[in-house]
């Protein structure tokens, strides 16, 4: 099951944290691990915004809802997770 995941971080709040460098480094480590294991299929940065959008893979709806909880910056982000369904055009 693939999902469109759009996390948006609260950068003003993030910059105020004393552990900002450690959190950002941990976020990159987790993101790279998700890329390696196939959880993140593809990811893009949204131009002109402090946001990303990606295609993530999860086994089921419960796992899909849990995806943002794996991110170290989760307490400072608002993540929209939308299930994707195949379209017949893509199947041809």
CATH of 2-86 among 3.40.190.10, 3.30.450.40, 3.30.70.1060, 3.30.360.10: 3.30.70.1060
pLDDT in tens, 58-91: 998 888 888 888 888 888 888 888 889 888 776 6
- Average pLDDT (10-39) is 88
Each domain of the chain, given as residue ranges in start order, spans 2-86
Pairs from 45-49 (Cβ < 8 Å, separation ≥ 24): 49/8
- Average pLDDT (15-29) is 88
pLDDT at 36 over 80: yes
Strands 2-9 and 52-57: antiparallel
Q: What is the pTM of this model?
A: 0.78
């Amino acid at each position: 099951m693939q999902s469109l995941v759009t996390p948006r971080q609260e950068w003003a709040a993030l910059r105020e944290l004393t552990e900002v460098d450690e959190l950002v480094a941990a976020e990159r480590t987790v993101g790279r691990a998700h890329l390696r294991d196939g959880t993140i299929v593809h990811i893009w940065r949204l131009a002109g915004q402090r946001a990303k959008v990606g295609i993530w893979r999860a086994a089921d709806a419960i796992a899909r809802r849990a995806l943002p909880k794996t991110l170290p910056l989760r307490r400072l982000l608002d993540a929209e997770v939308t299930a994707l369904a195949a379209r017949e055009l893509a199947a041809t």
